[in-house]
C-alpha cells in the first residue's frame, strides 16, 4: 500500500510539460475494422510523445469526435457523437455513446487529449470503422444457397471415424451471379459467409487476402461472416461475383486411403452474401444470394481438413468472370439454379465473435531438395510450420503433381508421417492436375498442414506420357494475422533457440482458434489456452482470438454447465459420459474461467468477464455438484509428465490433486470477478466455498512430516505454492521439496502440461529463477534443449521429442517458458492493482551465465522496452515506459548507494522517486519516459 501511495504521488505532483499525441486508434481492439457488429463499440488509443525524452506524460482528459463522413469530421462536425471533455486518464475501452449506429455504416472518428498542465494535444489522425450486420433481419433479402435442396440442415453427427459416417456430397460447390453497375460507384461493401470455407471473387480477382474463412465454430450456434470493401473491384457495366466452397471442419467425410481424424457433418455446403453498392447520385443497389445464382460442382475434387485437397486445373477457365457461358459446360460441370435453403442453425456474427483472419505470413524456399526416383523429390523447407505449398508447373493436360507433407524423414529419405497421424492413419496430400496450357500455378484453397518436408510426386497423364515439370516450389507459412507484439533476445544462444522453438509452435497453431497441433488433430484442447495464456499474449496481440475462443467454449457448454475439454466440440475423444476425464477434466474446462481473468489482467478489459460471468458460474456450480467432500475425483492430471513409462496421462501426480487445485483457483477467480462486477453476495459465496476447498485440499493431500503434497512430484509442490493452497509457515519447506526434487534429477524437470507453468511460477515468485535457468540450460535431459539437440525446429508434444503414438513435432502445449523469459528474465510485468499495464512492474532476474537481455512488449497502452547488462561488478538497466502509464522499477543492485539514473543520483533525476531497497534490488517509482539505471 505504501508503494502504491508513493507511486501515485509522483504522478500527481510531478508533471512535465510535453504534448501528448493520441495515436494508434482502435475500435474493438482492431485497426480500421470492417464488420463491427456490436451496437456500442469500444474505442482505444495510445500516445506518441512529441518529445521522446519527455517523462511523466499523463492524460488528464480526452475528447472524441465521431462523424458520418470524413468531411464532417474534418470540419469538426461530430454529427454522431461529441463526447465533450471527459476528465479521465482512460484511453482503453471507451464505450461509444453517440447516435444509434446502423448496419453497414462507415464511421469516422478522432480524439484529442489534455494533460494535467492544461495543455491540449492536436487531434489524432482520423480512424474509421465499418459496421457489420447488427440483426438477422438486416440480411434480408439474402438467402442461404446450396447446390443440394433442403429445407434446413440436419442435426450434426459428430463421432470418431470408427463409429460415424457423414453423407457424401460434392467436394466443392461454386456459385456465380452477373449484374450491371452504373457509373460513379462511391462505395461498395459485401457481407459474406460460405461453409465450410469459401473464397470470394469479383470479376475473376480474389476479394481480400484472408485464408480458410470463415473461422471454425459450432455452426449450430455461431456462423462467422466477413465484411469487405469492394469499391475498387467493381466496374461500370457487367460484373461477376463468384464463390468457391470447400468442406473445412463443417463437413468431414470418411475417406478410404487418406487420413481422417474424425467425421462430422453440419450439412451440405452453403453460402450467404449481401453486396451493397452506393453511387454518387445517391442511388443504391443490392445484390444478394438467392435462387437466381447459378451453382455447379467446382474444380476441387477432394476437400478434407485432414486428408488434403485435389484441384483440377482443367476446369473451364473464366467461370468467375463476366460473360462466361454456362450452357456449354460438360455434364459433370453442369450449372443449375441454386436452391434456397436454411442456414446451419447458428447466428451470423461478425467481428464480435471472430479471431484475426488467417493469412499468408511469409514464404520459405526449400533449403535443400533430393531426388529419390525420377518422379519423386523431397524438399526440405528448413522449418516445421503451418504450410500451404505454392507450385509452378508445366506439362501435359491430365498429368498431375502431388505434394505429401511430413514433419520427419525416414531413414530411406522418404517422408515419415508417423507424427502427423493417429493409429497408423493414412497419408494426406495436395494434388494438382494440369490443364496443359504452359506455365501453371497452384496454391491451395482450403487445406493446410504442419510440416517441414514436402515429398513431391509427378505422374504422367498416360502410361507413355511425359512427367510434368515442377519449375518452382515454396512453402507459404499460413496462420493468424494477429499482430506480433513481443521480442526477446539474450546472450545465451540456447535460450534464444528455445524462444524461437516455442514461438514457431505458437505460430503454427494460431489459426481461427489455438489448435493443439497443425496436422494430426487441429483441435481446440482447452488446457493449453490458460497454461500458455501469458506466454502467448507476450508474443502476439490475441485479445480477439481469446474472445472468439470464449465464444466457442460458451457454445460448447452443455445444459448441465459442463464445458467439455475441446471447443468447438467437433470430436468426443472417448465417450460422452460425464465421468469420462477425456470430456470432463477441470484442468481443461476451467479455461472458461481462467482465460477471461487472464485477459483482464493483461489488458484491463472486463468485457469477457461481464459477458460470460453467468455461464462461468454455471460451470463451476457443475463442478461443485460432482465434488466429494470438496474434492474433485476426476481429471487428466499433469498430462505428459515425465514418469517411468513413455509419456501418456499423468504418471507422477494424481488427477484429483490437479483437478481440485484448479477447482479452488476457479473459485478464487469468481470471488474476485464478482467483486469487480459489483456482486457482493456472489463474492461471499465463492470466497466461502474456496476456503472450504482449501481446507479439504490441505487435509487430504499435505503431509507436514515430509513437507510433501500427495506424491511429492514437482507439480504437487508447485501448484499449492502458486495458488495459495498452503499455510504460510509451510511455504519454505514445500519450496525446498520442489527444489530438492529438481536437484535430485540433475536439475531436470518432470512436470507436464498442467504442472510446468506452476513450477516456473513457484520458483520465480520465490526469487529462484536461478533454478529455472539451470533446469532449462541443458540438452542432456528431456526438455527444450534436448528437443533442439534432436533437430526440432518447433516445440514438440513430448519433452524428449519422441514420436511413437501421439508424438507431434509441432505442439505448443509445453511452451510456458516464454512467459518466464518476458515476465521474469526480462522482468516485464503488470501490477495487478492496475491491470492492463496501466501500472507496470520492471523486475529483471540476473541468473546463470546470461550477461545481457533485450526485450520489448507492445502492451495495450504502448511499447515497454527493457535492456539489461551484467558484466562483473557493474549492471545497467535501460527501461522505456509508455505515455499515460507509470512503473515500479526494480534495479538489480547489491550496493543501493551506487545506483545512478542517466549518470546522476536518483534523487536528482527528473521523475524518479526512490521507494525502498529489498534484497538484490533498489526500487524506484517512475512515470513514462526513457530511463538508464546503473549500479554495482
pLDDT exceeds cutoff 70 at 4? no
Q: What is the DSSP letter of 233?
A: G
Contact residues for 645 (Cβ-Cβ < 8 A; gap 6+): 651
State the pLDDT at residue 11.
Answer: 40
Query: Dihedral (C-alpha) 179, 182, 183, 184: value to the nearest 10 degrees?
Result: -90
Residues of the chain with CATH 2.60.40.10: 2-131
Fold entry, domain 2-131: Immunoglobulin-like (2.60.40)
- What pLDDT band is residue 165 in, cutting at 50, 70 and 90? very low
Strands 222-224 and 226-229, bridge-based pairing: unpaired
State the pLDDT at residue 7.
Answer: 41
Reduced to 3 states, what is the DSSP secondary structure of residue 763?
Answer: helix
Scan for cell 470430456, then name that residue: 583
Fold entry, domain 486-826: Glycosyltransferase (1.50.10)
pLDDT exceeds cutoff 50 at 453? yes
pLDDT above 70 coverage of the chain, percent: 96
Contact residues for 617 (Cβ-Cβ < 8 A; gap 6+): 670, 682
- Return the minimum-mean-pLDDT range out of 49-63, 85-99, 305-319: 49-63
Report d(CA 49, CA 67) in Å as an integer.
26
763-800 exposure pattern, b = at least 16 Cβ within 10 A, e = fewer: bbebebbebbbbbbbbeebbbbbbbbeeebbbbbbbbe
What backbone phi and psi angles, to 5 degrees, belong to 108?
-115, 140
Q: Per the structure block, which three cell numbers stand in for 79?
A: 454529427
The dihedral region occupied by 75, where left means phi > 0, alpha psi between -120 and 50, and beta the remainder, is alpha
Taking only the tens place, the pLDDT of each residue in 581-618 is: 999 999 999 999 999 999 999 999 999 999 999 999 99
pLDDT exceeds cutoff 70 at 13? no
The stretch 381-391 carries a mean pLDDT of 99
pLDDT exceeds cutoff 50 at 744? yes
State the pLDDT at residue 212.
Answer: 99
The dihedral region occupied by 561, where left means phi > 0, alpha psi between -120 and 50, and beta the remainder, is left
Place domain 839-935 in its CATH homologous superfamily: Maltose phosphorylase, domain 3 (2.60.420.10)
pLDDT exceeds cutoff 90 at 687? yes
339-357 exposure pattern, b = at least 16 Cβ within 10 A, e = fewer: bbbebbbbebbbbbbbbbb
The stretch 102-128 carries a mean pLDDT of 96
Q: What is the DSSP letter of 823?
A: I
Q: Per the structure block, which three cell numbers stand in for 754?
A: 498442467
Nearest in space to 579 (alpha carbons), one of 664, 694, 654, 656: 656
The residue with greater pLDDT, 353 or 574, is 353
Residues of the chain with CATH 1.50.10.10: 486-826
Report d(CA 761, CA 771) in Å as an integer.
11
Reduced to 3 states, what is the DSSP secondary structure of residue 416?
Answer: strand
The stretch 22-51 carries a mean pLDDT of 95
State the pLDDT at residue 642.
Answer: 97
Strands 185-195 and 300-304, bridge-based pairing: unpaired
End-to-end CA distance of the chain: 29
Residues of the chain with CATH 2.60.120.260: 136-355, 359-480
Residues of the chain with CATH 2.60.420.10: 839-935
Angle (CA) 584-670-818 rounded to 5° is 70
Fold entry, domain 136-355: Jelly Rolls (2.60.120)
State the pLDDT at residue 9.
Answer: 38
pLDDT exceeds cutoff 70 at 676? yes
- What pLDDT band is residue 344 in, cutting at 50, 70 and 90? very high
State the pLDDT at residue 168.
Answer: 58
pLDDT above 90 coverage of the chain, percent: 91
pLDDT exceeds cutoff 70 at 478? yes
pLDDT exceeds cutoff 70 at 741? yes
pLDDT exceeds cutoff 80 at 255? no
Evaluate whether 876 touches 932 at the Cβ level (below 8 Å). Answer: yes
Contact residues for 784 (Cβ-Cβ < 8 A; gap 6+): 498, 501, 502, 776, 795, 817
Taking only the tens place, the pLDDT of each residue in 421-431 is: 987 788 999 99
The separation between CA 698 and the C-alpha centre of its own chain, rounded to angstroms, equals: 36
Strands, E assignment, 298-375: 300-304, 308-312, 336-337, 339-341, 347-349, 358-364, 368-371
- What pLDDT band is residue 873 in, cutting at 50, 70 and 90? confident
The separation between CA 87 and the C-alpha centre of its own chain, rounded to angstroms, equals: 35
Report d(CA 892, CA 222) in Å as an integer.
51
Scan for cell 498542465, then name that residue: 117
Strands 862-871 and 42-49, bridge-based pairing: unpaired
pLDDT exceeds cutoff 90 at 244? yes
Evaluate whether 895 touches 849 at the Cβ level (below 8 Å). Answer: no
Angle (CA) 71-74-79 rounded to 5° is 70
Scan for cell 527444450, then name that residue: 784
State the pLDDT at residue 608.
Answer: 98
Residues forming beta bridges with residue 433, ordered by sequence position: 312, 400
- What pLDDT band is residue 809 in, cutting at 50, 70 and 90? very high
Mean pLDDT, rounded, of the chain? 95
Report d(CA 636, CA 755) in Å as an integer.
12
Contact residues for 90 (Cβ-Cβ < 8 A; gap 6+): 62
Residue 869 CB: number of other CB atoms within 10 A? 17
The stretch 513-519 carries a mean pLDDT of 98
Taking only the tens place, the pLDDT of each residue in 690-718 is: 999 999 999 999 999 999 999 999 999 99
Nearest in space to 380 (alpha carbons), one of 785, 783, 791: 791
Report d(CA 883, CA 55) in Å as an integer.
8
Report d(CA 208, CA 229) in Å as an integer.
9
Contact residues for 100 (Cβ-Cβ < 8 A; gap 6+): 39
CATH of 359-480, one of 3.40.50.620, 2.60.120.260, 2.60.120.10, 3.40.50.2000: 2.60.120.260
Query: Dihedral (C-alpha) 316, 319, 323, 328: value to the nearest 10 degrees?
Result: 50
Strands, E assignment, 733-851: 828-830, 839-842
Strands 886-892 and 469-480, bridge-based pairing: unpaired
Report d(CA 34, CA 148) in Å as an integer.
31
Residue 693: its H or E element:
helix 680-701
Amino acid at each position: 500500500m505504501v508503494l502504491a501511495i508513493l507511486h501515485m504521488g509522483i504522478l500527481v505532483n510531478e508533471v512535465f510539460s510535453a504534448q501528448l499525441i493520441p495515436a494508434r486508434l482502435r475500435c474493438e481492439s482492431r485497426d480500421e475494422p470492417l464488420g463491427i457488429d456490436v451496437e456500442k463499440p469500444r474505442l482505444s488509443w495510445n500516445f506518441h510523445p512529441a518529445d521522446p525524452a519527455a517523462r511523466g506524460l499523463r492524460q488528464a482528459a480526452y475528447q472524441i469526435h465521431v462523424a458520418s463522413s470524413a468531411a464532417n469530421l474534418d470540419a469538426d462536425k461530430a454529427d454522431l457523437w461529441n463526447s465533450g471533455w471527459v476528465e479521465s486518464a482512460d484511453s482503453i475501452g471507451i464505450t461509444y455513446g453517440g447516435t444509434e449506429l446502423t448496419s453497414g455504416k462507415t464511421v469516422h472518428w478522432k480524439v484529442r487529449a489534455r494533460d494535467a498542465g492544461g495543455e491540449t494535444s492536436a487531434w489524432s489522425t482520423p480512424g474509421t470503422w465499418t459496421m457489420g450486420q447488427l440483426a438477422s433481419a438486416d440480411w434480408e433479402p439474402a438467402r442461404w444457397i446450396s447446390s443440394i435442396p433442403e429445407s434446413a440442415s440436419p442435426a450434426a453427427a459428430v463421432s470418431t471415424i470408427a463409429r460415424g459416417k457423414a453423407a457424401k456430397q460434392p467436394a466443392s460447390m461454386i456459385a456465380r451471379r452477373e449484374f450491371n453497375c452504373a457509373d460513379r460507384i462511391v462505395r461498395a461493401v459485401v457481407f459474406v459467409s460460405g461453409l465450410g470455407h469459401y473464397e470470394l471473387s469479383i470479376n475473376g480477382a480474389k476479394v481480400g487476402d484472408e485464408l480458410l474463412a470463415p473461422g471454425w465454430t459450432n455452426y449450430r450456434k455461431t456462423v462467422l461472416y466477413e465484411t469487405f470493401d469492394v469499391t475498387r473491384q467493381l466496374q461500370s457495366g457487367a460484373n461477376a461475383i463468384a464463390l468457391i466452397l470447400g468442406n473445412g471442419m463443417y463437413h468431414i467425410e470418411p475417406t478410404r486411403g487418406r487420413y481422417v481424424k474424425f467425421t462430422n457433418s453440419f450439412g451440405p455446403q452453403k453460402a450467404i452474401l449481401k453486396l451493397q453498392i452506393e453511387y454518387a447520385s445517391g442511388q443504391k443497389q443490392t445484390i444478394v444470394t438467392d435462387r437466381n445464382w447459378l451453382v455447379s460442382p467446382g474444380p476441387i475434387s477432394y476437400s478434407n481438413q485432414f486428408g488434403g485437397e485435389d484441384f483440377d486445373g482443367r476446369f473451364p477457365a473464366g467461370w468467375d468472370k463476366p460473360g462466361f457461358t454456362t450452357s456449354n459446360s460438360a455434364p459433370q460441370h453442369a450449372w443449375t439454379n441454386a436452391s434456397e435453403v436454411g442456414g446451419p442453425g447458428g447466428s451470423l456474427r461478425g467481428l464480435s465473435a471472430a479471431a484475426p483472419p488467417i493469412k499468408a505470413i511469409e514464404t520459405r524456399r526449400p533449403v535443400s531438395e533430393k531426388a529419390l526416383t525420377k518422379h519423386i523429390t523431397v524438399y526440405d523447407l528448413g522449418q516445421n510450420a503451418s504450410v500451404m505449398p505454392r507450385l509452378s508447373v508445366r506439362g501435359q493436360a491430365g498429368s498431375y503433381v502431388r505434394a505429401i507433407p511430413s514433419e520427419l524423414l525416414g531413414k530411406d529419405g522418404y517422408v515419415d508421417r508417423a507424427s502427423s497421424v493417429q493409429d497408423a492413419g493414412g497419408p494426406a496430400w495436395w494434388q494438382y492436375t494440369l490443364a496443359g496450357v504452359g506455365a501453371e500455378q497452384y496454391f491451395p484453397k482450403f487445406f493446410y498442414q504442419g510440416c517441414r518436408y514436402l515429398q513431391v510426386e509427378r505422374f504422367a497423364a498416360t502410361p507413355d506420357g511425359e512427367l510434368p515439370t515442377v519449375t518452382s516450389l515454396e512453402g507459404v507459412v499460413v496462420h493468424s494475422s494477429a499482430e506480433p507484439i513481443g521480442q526477446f533476445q539474450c546472450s545465451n544462444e540456447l535460450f534464444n533457440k528455445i524462444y524461437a522453438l516455442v514461438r514457431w509452435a505458437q505460430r503454427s497453431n494460431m489459426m481461427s482458434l489455438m489448435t493443439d497441433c497443425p496436422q494430426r488433430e487441429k483441435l481446440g484442447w482447452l488446457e493449453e489456452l490458460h497454461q500458455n495464456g501469458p506466454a502467448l499474449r507476450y508474443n502476439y496481440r490475441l485479445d480477439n482470438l481469446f474472445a472468439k475462443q470464449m465464444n466457442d467454449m460458451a457454445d460448447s457448454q452443455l445444459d448441465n454447465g459442463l464445458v467439455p475439454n475441446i471447443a468447438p466440440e467437433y470430436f468426443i475423444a472417448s465417450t460422452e459420459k460425464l465421468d469420462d476425464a477425456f470430456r470432463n477434466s477441470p484442468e481443461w474446462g476451467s479455461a472458461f474461467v481462467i482465460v477471461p481473468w487472464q485477459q483482464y489482467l493483461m489488458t484491463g478489459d472486463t468485457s469477457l468477464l461481464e459477458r460470460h460471468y453467468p455461464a462461468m458460474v454455471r460451470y463451476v456450480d457443475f463442478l461443485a455438484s460432482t465434488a466429494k467432500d470438496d474434492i474433485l475425483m476426476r481429471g487428466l492430471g499433469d498430462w505428459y509428465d515425465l514418469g517411468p513409462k513413455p509419456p501418456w496421462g499423468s504418471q507422477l501426480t494424481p488427477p484429483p490433486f490437479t483437478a481440485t487445485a484448479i477447482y479452488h483457483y476457479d473459485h478464487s477467480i469468481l470471488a474476485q470477478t464478482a467483486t469487480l462486477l459489483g456482486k457482493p453476495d456472489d463474492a461471499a459465496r465463492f470466497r466461502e466455498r474456496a476456503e472450504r476447498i482449501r481446507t479439504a485440499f490441505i487435509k487430504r493431500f499435505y503431509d507436514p512430516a515430509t513437507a510433501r503434497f500427495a506424491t511429492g512430484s514437482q507439480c504437487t509442490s508447485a501448484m499449492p505454492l502458486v495458488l495459495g493452497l498452503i499455510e504460510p509457515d509451510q511455504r519454505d519447506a514445500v519450496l525446498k521439496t520442489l527444489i530438492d526434487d529438481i536437484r535430485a534429477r540433475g536439475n531436470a524437470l518432470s512436470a507436464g502440461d498442467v504442472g510446468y507453468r506452476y513450477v516456473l511460477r513457484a520458483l520465480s515468485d520465490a526469487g529462484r529463477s536461478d533454478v529455472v535457468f539451470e533446469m532449462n540450460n541443458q540438452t542432456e535431459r528431456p526438455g527444450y534443449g534436448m528437443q533442439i539437440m534432436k533437430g526440432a525446429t518447433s516445440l514438440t508434444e513430448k519433452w524428449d521429442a519422441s514420436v511413437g503414438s501421439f508424438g507431434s513435432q509441432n505442439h505448443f502445449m509445453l511452451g510456458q517458458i516464454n512467459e518466464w523469459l518476458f515476465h521474469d528474465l526480462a522482468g516485464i510485468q503488470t501490477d495487478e492493482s492496475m491491470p492492463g499495464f496501466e501500472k507496470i512492474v520492471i523486475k529483471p532476474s540476473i541468473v546463470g551465465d546470461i550477461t545481457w537481455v533485450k526485450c520489448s512488449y507492445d502492451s495495450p497502452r504502448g511499447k515497454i522496452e527493457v535492456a539489461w547488462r551484467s558484466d562483473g561488478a557493474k549492471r545497467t538497466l535501460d527501461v522505456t515506459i509508455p505515455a499515460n502509464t507509470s512503473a515500479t522499477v526494480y534495479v538489480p543492485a547489491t550496493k543501493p548507494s551506487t545506483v545512478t539514473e542517466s549518470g546522476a543520483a536518483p534523487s536528482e533525476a527528473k521523475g524518479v522517486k526512490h521507494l525502498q531497497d529489498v534484497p538484490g534490488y533498489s526500487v524506484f517509482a517512475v512515470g513514462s519516459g526513457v530511463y538508464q539505471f546503473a549500479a554495482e
